[in-house]
Every structure is written in structure tokens, then in C-alpha cells.
Amino acid sequence: MMRLRMTVIVMAAISVAPAAAWAACDGTPVTSGSRTIAVDASMRTFVIRVPSSSDGRTPAPVVFALHPFGTNAQYMASRAPIALTWREAVVIYPNGTPRAGTGPGFAWQGRSGELEDRDLRFFDAMMTWLATNACIDEKRVFVLGYSNGAGLAYLLACERADRLAGVAIVSGRMGCSPNRAKPIIMTHGVADATIGYDQAVEATRVWAAKNSCQGPPPPARSPGCVMATGCASSLTMCTHAGGHEYDSSFTGAAVEFFKSIGANSAR
């Protein structure tokens, strides 16, 4: 697997509004581990990673990391160890559920109304759980998705934009139309035979229009990241020479992108 160093050009930080004070910020930190919650008639699971420095009083940023088809939360935690580069963040690794006709592997919905919107409702339930049990900053909630997980990340950017401050996409296919601007960073391999590089290029065109950019980032056939210019909400496209894979250097690029997004830009 190619391991490429990626550099993201970020906008100057803007002033950050005071974080929301959740009832859960009572000085009792939530612990790391696996959780099971009810979503309608189903029981859904996720893994939460909480900073060791958490005092239960300081609202923390949250990153949801969504695994690809056929894997699980543990796999995604190994591919995207976000806590190593953002020690202050609460990281959520949810598990998908089996999908009829595709075998026993976990999967996500990728379009609105698909699978009775079970994964949109799962996201809503996890947000409710966090608001009740963890001290989080509601204006710094982010999502990173890989492959099938990127499809759900796109869908959340379209359908739950009011809950997210920014989105990171790894080798994803977009199956929705955004209704509002949203800071977004993407990475895609030029040799991807599963989801072609041209689909990432098309996605940048859609988001460039929605984010009021002067134009989309130019397609790059050489490794690196390019930021679109003149955007109301930032848009960055990263390219690597590999195929349908998770380039490990993108985790750091995504985290730096998330950190660059001020709380005031999330709404």
C-alpha cells in the first residue's frame, strides 16, 4: 500500500464561539469501550474512544469513523487511529448491520430512504446518547467514512448537515444531492477499480457549486492535496497513486482539516 505524506492547505482559523454546555458535562467522564443502544426495534453497537485527559467538564470534539463494507468498528479503528493525532477528540466507531443479498458482512445505507433509513436513525440515536452521556461540543461533530462508509458519510452531509461541522471522504461514491454548504475533504486513488477516480472528480464539482467556490479543485494525477479557491465553505481534494484503499497518511490530513474548521463555520 502506498503511504504518502499529504499536506492540507487550511484557511486561517476563525474565532470560536463558546462550546455548548451539555447536561452530561457534570465532571463524570464517560469511559471508553463498546456500547449497545436501541434504534427502533433493533439493537445497534458502536465503540467509543475517550481521551485519557477527559475531565467530564470540557466539551470535546467528536469524530464518527465509518468502516467499509464487510468489516467492522475494530477494523476502522485500526485503519484510522484518529486519537493518535487528535488526543482531545472523542472518537466513535459504529458497526453497520448485515444487508440482505450481500452476505453476513456489515454494510451501510448510501441513499436517502434506502433500508428504511436505518443508519440515519442510528446516527441520530448515537448523537442522543452522546448528549446524555458524554461532554461533547455540538458544534465540532465530524464524520470520516471509507468506501461504503464514505457513502453514508456523504449521505450524512446531505441529510444531517445541521449536525456536522465537516466531512472527510475516503474512496467514496456520492448517492445524494447536498442541500447546503459543508466543509469537506476527499481522497481518492487514481487506480481505483472499485469506485473510479472520475466519481471523486464529479463529487468535487457538486460540492464546489454548493460551497460557492470559484471552481472545483483541479484533478491531480500526482500525489497531494489541492484546495478549491474562493469558497464559502472549504473544499479539498487529495489524490494518491493507489487503488481502492485507505492511505494511512490521510488520517492526519483529515484531522488537520477538522481542526481548521472554526465552530462558527459549522452553522
pLDDT in tens, 114-143: 989 999 999 999 999 999 999 999 999 999
The residues pairing with 37 across neighbouring beta strands, listed in sequence order, are 44
Q: What is the mean pLDDT of residues 57-86?
A: 96
Q: Is residue 180 part of a domain?
A: yes
In this prediction, residue 106 has a pLDDT band, given cuts at 50, 70 and 90, of very high
CB 198 within 8 A of CB 177: no
Tell me, yes or no, whether 3 lies in a domain. no
Residue 63, domain CATH: 3.40.50.1820
Question: What is the per-residue pLDDT for 259?
Answer: 96
Residue percentage of the chain with pLDDT more than 90:
81
Q: Does residue 248 fall inside a structural domain?
A: yes
Map grid coordinates 466507531 to a residue: 93
SS3 264: helix
- What's the structural domain count of the chain? 1
Best CA proximity match to 141, nearest among 178, 182, 175: 182
The answer to whether residue 21 is domain-embedded is no
Chain-centre distance of CA 156, in angstroms? 9
The answer to whether residue 199 is domain-embedded is yes
- pLDDT class for 211, splitting at 50, 70, 90? very high
* Percent of the chain whose predicted confidence (pLDDT) is above 70: 87
Does the pLDDT at position 11 exceed 70?
no
**What mean pLDDT, rounded, does the chain reach?**
89
Range of the domain at 99: 33-260
H helices then E strands: how many in the chain? Answer: 5, 11
How far is it, in rounded angstroms, from Cα 90 to Cα 46?
13
pTM summary value: 0.89
Residue 202 resides in a domain: yes
pLDDT reading at 265 higher than 60: no
pLDDT tens, residue by residue, 220-252: 767 899 999 999 999 999 999 999 999 899 999
Q: Tell me the residue type at 135.
A: C
> What is the rounded average pLDDT of the residues 250-267?
79
Place of cell 474562493: 230
Residue at 16 is within a domain: no
Query: For the residues 149-159, what does the mean pLDDT come to?
Result: 98
**Residue 161, C-alpha cell as written in the block:** 448537515
SS3 50: coil
In a domain, 27, yes or no: no
